[in-house]
Amino acid sequence: MKKLNNLTSYEYSDEWFTDQQTVELVVSLLQPKGTICCPFDSSESLFTKVAESIGKCIYGMTDWLGSNYEYDYLMTNPPFSIKDAVIEKVAKSGKPSALILPLDSLGGVNRHRIFNEYGYPAIYIPTRRISYFNDQWVKKQGANFHSVILLFHTNREGIIWESKN
């Protein structure tokens, strides 16, 4: 096993890079400016590259869950193995944020507690499954889950259905 942000994860990797089209979609939904936090992203991430073209980008924090960084917006595809901790920290933060997570991230007793306590995010539901790439930029074949984009602390509300096929 390996350690990730003080949490143990198994030998498999749950780090996958997000495709350009989805990153651009997140930016259009969030409309970030100022300092953008991409806590789980490396310099190779498209989130980081796009954020750097918009404003100041801080990224690659191995201690993000336990620290308090200054930023104006957050956008990331966080490791699924720590999604509950990420959702709770983002919900508590009050900062406009976008998280790409599996559709089933909306359910569960702990997540419902978080949403009840800190507010429900707007939920963007894409028509198609999002494409992910490994660290060699090889596309993962056949995404086995449907992803959604959770938007916290924005002017958006409810469910946002993608309008194109």
Mean pLDDT computed over 43-57: 91
The predicted pLDDT at position 21 comes to 82
What does DSSP assign to residue 6?
Answer: T
- How far is the C-alpha of 154 from the C-alpha of 165, rounded, in Å? 25
101 contact partners, CB below 8 Å, separation of at least 6: 77, 78, 80, 83, 87, 147, 148, 150
The band of 1, judged by pLDDT with boundaries at 50, 70 and 90, is: very low
**pTM recorded for the entire structure:** 0.83
Cβ(102)–Cβ(145) below 8 Å: yes
**Residue 42 confidence (pLDDT) above 80:** yes
Highest mean pLDDT among 7-11, 132-136, 142-146: 142-146
Find the mean pLDDT for residues 123-144: 68
> Is residue 2 exposed (0-12), middle (13-18) or buried (19+ Cβ within 10 Å)?
exposed
Dump pLDDT digits (tens) for 79-131: 888 999 999 999 999 999 999 998 888 999 999 999 999 999 999 988 777 66
Eight-class DSSP state of 30: H
